[in-house]
Amino acid sequence: MSWKSTSTAKFWWIGKPLYTSQLEEGLACHIPEQFAGVLARNQLQTLQPTRYPSAYVVNTDDAGQPGKHWTVFVCEKDHCDFFDSFDCSPEVYGQDFADFARRQGPLRHNTRRIQGNQSAVCGHYCFFYLWHKFHVPSPHALSVFQSNLTENDRLVHAWAHHHFPCLSFEDGETCLGFMNDNMLELMDLS
């Protein structure tokens, strides 16, 4: 059976986010040489990578808060890649994100939104992005996702369950639950 057809959950797109411990467990197992940590936004203030490449999954919430949306920074010696399934630049997520990106040198980031509004699978997209970046390096890895955001969410959810079966997936809120009107306008989600 293909991983594209393994998801049978009827309403999975309403919830089932990944939590810090799940991301740490999965990434430490699958990309141990590159994985450098799962962080909260305010932990970026003093962070300086000690090896390259260093892959960080960063939540847009500060430490001690419930968590809102997962993103990825991959720091290389000469540049930094930023991945966000909502196609936002680091600046959208505040000064800590913007300053960290600036300190890392030239920034590259994805330029196409792939996650839907009613989805909580941002962590799944982070898994997908990092797994492909380090196991199947291709500038076209994200091209599997199309303009149908709900279908993209279903696809990445099924992929994560196939590639990371030891992880438990729990119910939770949607990633967009935290967005305020200003961020929605910046991201042009209407």
* Within-domain flag for 130: yes
What is the pTM (predicted TM-score) of this model?
0.82
pLDDT at 18 over 80: yes
More confident residue, 154 or 6: 154
pLDDT score, position 76: 96
Q: Please count the structural domains in the chain.
A: 1
Is residue 162 within 8 Å of 26, Cβ to Cβ?
A: no
Q: Which domain holds residue 153?
A: 14-184
pLDDT at 60 over 90: yes
Tokens 């991959």, residue located: 74
The first and second tokens of residue 175, run together, are: 């990633």
CATH number at residue 44: 3.40.395.10
pLDDT at 8 over 90: no
Provide the pLDDT confidence category of residue 186 given band limits of 50, 70 and 90: very low
pLDDT at 103 over 70: yes
Task: Calculate the average pLDDT of the chain.
Answer: 83
pLDDT at 145 over 70: yes
Give bridge partners of residue 83 from the DSSP assignment: 72
Residues 6+ apart with CB under 8 A from 91: 97, 98, 101
Q: What is the four-CA torsion angle of 126, 78, 104, 80, rounded to 10 degrees?
A: -20
* Within-domain flag for 106: yes
* Within-domain flag for 9: no
